[in-house]
Structure 1
């Protein structure tokens, strides 16, 4: 038994909107222990939608449609499904009444086109929409096949799924097992290198382990299928511990953790404070830190020293060193870190200087060259050199620089 998610809308194919509905439904199905192996996006075209239904109905027992339930001519989901299965559309007076009432509450008059939303396949049940005007359906057009339709508006779909679809699925005996996952996160290690280290775990049947990589971060999703979340957690726990032991300091957190949030907790736990000096990241490092609620407990502020005069005037960088070694150098990174730590009187000072591109690189200092400076207690100052590569683009180089700077501090705090 499996489900398939079918998202209808030409705007999805054109990339005009992000398909967050598919992500939400995938997570919800996992929580119910209902496997799904395919997701399909199709435009507002009845012929192509029928082709999708033909294929999906042969490989899944639950078809979940989102989109195409509105009053406009291109909203064709319900009538196309009915036509595919040879069922007539019938107008439901209770839907007309519900839509009319909602329009009155909003101080508007229902137009004739809205009556289209009251047409559902004969034999289908109404899937109520508490917040919008477009209802969905729950329909079993043949034995072994259940169809759900939802509007494309995410907030409406979420409410309808939780209020009606989930109880219905559970009443049919689905959802007796759940799929629970832990997302383990790593920084400072390549996906291929980590996958090689944990290779024996990648073929486990339950729990399963799968690697992912995005923007310099590597993730291992550990998923278990069990009768309850606690049982799934019991299956995951020993595997998670073994992976953490193998990864060592490359492991930094799980699930909703970020490098910034983990660094923040370490600083808070130690009763220590941080200030930052940024050049090529232009405030991105400070933004990552201040996105964390309560970060004022440990983060005191920063200086964006984009121009060399700011490096000299506010951070105390030696002008002769700037002239000799350039702004993008280890010695300047160290002086920036030490300078901001001194100026703001914090336990730690963290700095970034580099060439984010796409211009500004030279043969000796190419785009993607970044130095991180770290100044700590007892006047300890050190720097780290990185080559992120010109092909990664300005935005990604800046992101990698900020996260890598935080990761250096994280490792220092754990030693």
Structure 2
């Protein structure tokens, strides 16, 4: 048995509204151990919606609709479903009473158009909406097929799913097994390269392993089906450990961990402190660091040195080196890192200078060329040249620059820790 998610609304097709409902329902289905293989978005058109229903009923036993339950003429979900199965709509007095009371609570009178929301297919059960005026339905129009409808408003749909849909599905025997996933995150390695390294794991039956690319990073999702999350985690654990060993330092975190949170944990555990000097990222590196609660324990501050005079005055960058090598150079990146480290008296200094575009590039220094400087304990200074490509937009180059700088610091912190414990 499988489920299919059908989201109704022309505004979704036009991109006016982000379709977060599909993500929520998919996550909830996994918690109940209900597989689903298809998601469909269809506009407010009854004929196209019928086509979608015809296809969905041929390959799924649970159909979950969101959207199209409002009072306006283009809200046609229930009407179209009823028409497809050849049953009449019936007006429910209890729904009218519920809507009337909700309007009265707001000192308003129910509009006549809201009566439309009280029409549901004959034989369907009401799926109550505690917070809005549009109820849903739970309907089994034929053996082996169950239909749920929900309003498109996410907060209403979430409540209705939790309060009514989940208990109903569990009463039908679902929820005895769950699908539990863990996401491993990698930076500094391409998706195809990582996939080749771990390709032997893609054919596992349980847990399964699948790669996908994130924002500048690669992820491996490990999913297990078991009676509970503890049993699923036990299945995932050995596979996770093997994948991490294969990836080495390219692996940086799991699930909700970020490069900034991992770096923060390493700095905190080692007693390290950090300051940053930024040119092309304009404060983006500092923002990533300060998004982490408690980052003031290890992050002391930074300098946004956009103009060369700021690099000279605040970071002690040599003006002759700026003249000879340019602001976007390995030498200047190193001096920026040392300068901010000394100025703020931290154990680590991290710098970024580059060309984020879309203008400013040359043949020898194209858009996307970035230098990262890292000054560490014992006067250790390193620079890294990165070429992110001129076809990427400015914001993405800035994000890649800040994230890669964090990754370089992460690797150095791990190496430093390994040296001190060996």
Distance 2:268 2:280 in 1: 27
Aligned partner of 1:274 in structure 2 is 274
Distance 1:60 1:393 in 2: 41
Aligned partner of 1:335 in structure 2 is 335
Uncovered stretches (5+) of structure 1, i.e. residues with no partner: none
Distance 1:70 1:239 in 2: 47
Pairing 1:54-69 to 2, within 5 Å after superposition: 54-69=54-69
Q: Deviations over 1:163-206 (max 9, x none)?
A: 11011000001122110000000001111111111111011111
Uncovered stretches (5+) of structure 2, i.e. residues with no partner: 416-422
**Equivalent residue of 2:168, what SS?**
helix
**Equivalent residue of 1:390, what SS?**
coil
1:307 shift after superposition: 1.0
Distance 1:412 1:305 in 2: 24
Pairing 1:163-174 to 2, within 5 Å after superposition: 163-174=163-174
1:62 shift after superposition: 0.2
Distance 1:215 1:152 in 2: 28
Aligned partner of 2:295 in structure 1 is 295
Q: Deviations over 1:64-104 (max 9, x none)?
A: 00000011111110111011111111111111111111111
Distance 1:176 1:36 in 2: 16
Aligned partner of 1:199 in structure 2 is 199
Aligned partner of 1:136 in structure 2 is 136
The answer to whether residue 190 in structure 2 is matched with residue 190 in structure 1 is: yes
Moved over 6 A (4+): none
Aligned partner of 1:264 in structure 2 is 264
Pairing 1:146-225 to 2, within 5 Å after superposition: 146-225=146-225
Q: Deviations over 1:228-266 (max 9, x none)?
A: 111111110000000011111110000001101100111
1:308 shift after superposition: 0.9
Aligned partner of 1:83 in structure 2 is 83
1:386 shift after superposition: 0.6
1:107 shift after superposition: 2.1
**Equivalent residue of 2:170, what SS?**
helix
Q: Deviations over 1:289-326 (max 9, x none)?
A: 11111111111111111111111111111111000000
Distance 1:294 1:97 in 2: 51
Q: Deviations over 1:312-370 (max 9, x none)?
A: 11111111100000000001001111111111111111110001111110011011100
The answer to whether residue 317 in structure 2 is matched with residue 317 in structure 1 is: yes
Aligned partner of 1:368 in structure 2 is 368
**Equivalent residue of 2:16, what SS?**
coil
Distance 2:236 2:214 in 1: 23
Aligned partner of 1:247 in structure 2 is 247
Aligned partner of 1:106 in structure 2 is 106
Distance 2:108 2:303 in 1: 53
Distance 1:192 1:91 in 2: 56
Distance 2:309 2:27 in 1: 51
**Equivalent residue of 2:275, what SS?**
strand
The answer to whether residue 21 in structure 2 is matched with residue 24 in structure 1 is: no
1:36 shift after superposition: 0.4
Aligned partner of 1:97 in structure 2 is 97
Distance 1:237 1:221 in 2: 12
Q: Deviations over 1:250-283 (max 9, x none)?
A: 1000000110110011111112111111111111
Distance 2:278 2:289 in 1: 13
Aligned partner of 1:381 in structure 2 is 381
1:379 shift after superposition: 1.6
**Equivalent residue of 1:360, what SS?**
coil
**Equivalent residue of 2:182, what SS?**
strand
Aligned partner of 2:11 in structure 1 is 11
Give TM-score scaled by structure 2 length. Answer: 0.97
Distance 2:226 2:325 in 1: 60
Distance 1:313 1:155 in 2: 52
**Equivalent residue of 2:391, what SS?**
helix
Distance 1:314 1:153 in 2: 51
1:214 shift after superposition: 2.2
Task: Give the aligned CA root-mean-square deviation in angstroms.
Answer: 0.8
**Equivalent residue of 1:176, what SS?**
coil
